A = this chain, B = another copy of it.
Amino acid sequence: MANLKVEFLGKVFKNPIVAASGTFGFGEEYNEIYDVGLLGGISSKGLTLNSKQGNEGIRLWETPMGLMNSIGLQNPGLESFISREINIMKQYKTNLIANLGGNTLDDYLNGVLLLNDSDVDIIELNISCPNIKAGGMAFGIKADIAYATVKAVRGICGKPLMVKLSPNAESISEMAAACEEAGAEALSLINTINAMAIDIYAKKPVFNNYYAGLSGPAVKPIALRMVHQAAKAVMIPICGMGGISSARDAIEFIMAGASIVQVGTANFVKTDICLDIIRDMEEFLHSQGIRDINEIIGII
């Protein structure tokens, strides 16, 4: 039996597989299908200070081995989260990551203050949501804006702070380094890649916002490159994601420098795929005579 246990931001992850933000709700629905406590962690649906109804119009669009989404951060708001959803999530014996979005610095700061007193294990600061028109995006594109944001958040944050990077950043290496310097204790990447689809019969963009976020196996090779770049640019640990659909994919991210990984779109392809991935990772390590997953983190 190979060891899959990893320490990340001072928390023990029983395995490196975390359900990705926005693809797993608050775990409740998937827990009807399998015990989500078997996962290393769950990253919550992206939360905002106030509840949000999200975007109008088509929200999902399939592409060749990819998925575009424009959910627009529909969520119950932080107050509801802290009084209700967090308690559901806490029942599962796994790490609870609160994914926090926002349009302005104040949104982030007020959000963090609320989460400070809650039971979440890690805050994942989402400076990269591509589906909000005003503001949200810029935080994730320019390294100097990201630096200022993370620095301010770090100043008041009482929880381990992981910053989620956007693949739309001007330079992933510079962005990663800026966030580290500003006090991020870990980085997660990638969020979805800005993309477009057109309904050629209607002669209109498919999404009301024109662009939407691309995820899934199609983006994996790009995500892996970015995780490798980020890992080379910083000393802090990394949570890698983007298209992971198999143990092989997960191991690639880990070898490229991720300590833990998130699985998003693949949950839609096969509801219990995370369990397959955990099982197959262990088998891979065993077959290769690798006794501990920690031995291969970042070996490339």
Binary contact track A225-236/B, C-beta < 8 Å → 1, others 0? 100100000000
Instruction: Report A62-85 residues with CB < 8 Å from chain B CB.
Output: 63-66, 68
Chain A contacts with B in 269-286, Cβ cutoff 8 A: 284
Residues of B within 8 A of A159 (CB): none
A-B contacts, 19 listed (Cβ < 8 Å)? A63-B217, A63-B221, A64-B218, A64-B220, A65-B66, A65-B218, A68-B221, A195-B221, A195-B225, A196-B224, A197-B224, A198-B224, A198-B251, A198-B256, A198-B300, A200-B255, A203-B300, A204-B300, A218-B221
* Residue A91 lies at the interface, judged by CB distance under 8 Å to chain B: no
When all copies of this chain in the complex are counted, the total is 2
* A218 CA / B225 CA spacing, docked (Å): 15
Cβ of A255 and Cβ of B65 under 8 Å apart?
Answer: no
A interface, by DSSP: helix, strand, loop or mixed?
mixed
Chain A contact patch, size range: 35 or more
Asked if A193 is an interface residue, CB under 8 A from chain B, the answer is yes
Shortest beta-carbon distance, A256 to chain B, in Å? 6
